[in-house]
Amino acid sequence: MSLFSRSPPAPPTLTEVVDVPAPVDPVAAPQLSDDELRKLILADIQHQVDQMLEVRLREALAPALTRLTDALLRETRGELASTLRDIVARAVAQEMSRHRDR
């Protein structure tokens, strides 16, 4: 049987019964004091501001962090290459010295 000749799987069926809460009657809802309402509104606004600030900061910082990461990688590679050249030069010098002393 070919991979392309198979029929797609059957869609799942809903077997779980979900209770949907009844709509809240505004008349039966508890009345909030002005202070409680201010606190709820302030908490909602603070939550929205926090989310928006996080999104904006991520958008603003992403390019800067990418540039910094690239610069750090270039610098690290340069330092590593320099260190490896020094190590190889010392090893070669030691081997040359050993061969001359023989």
* In a domain? residue 19: no
* In a domain? residue 10: no
Give residue 99's domain range: 34-102
Residue 8: per-residue pLDDT = 61
Give the total number of structural domains in the chain: 1
- Whether 1 has a pLDDT exceeding 50, the answer reads no
* In a domain? residue 7: no
* In a domain? residue 17: no
Q: pLDDT tens-digit profile of 3-15?
A: 455 666 665 565 6
DSSP 10-45: PPP------PPPPPPPTTTSPPPPHHHHHHHHHHHH
* In a domain? residue 95: yes
Residue 65 vs residues 43, 61, 69, 77: alpha-carbon distances, Å:
31, 6, 6, 18
* In a domain? residue 14: no
* In a domain? residue 79: yes
Q: Are the C-beta atoms of 63 and 71 separated by less than 8 Å?
A: no
Q: pLDDT tens-digit profile of 53-82?
A: 999 999 999 999 999 999 999 999 999 999
Please give the mean pLDDT across all residues of the chain.
84
Model confidence pTM above 0.75? no
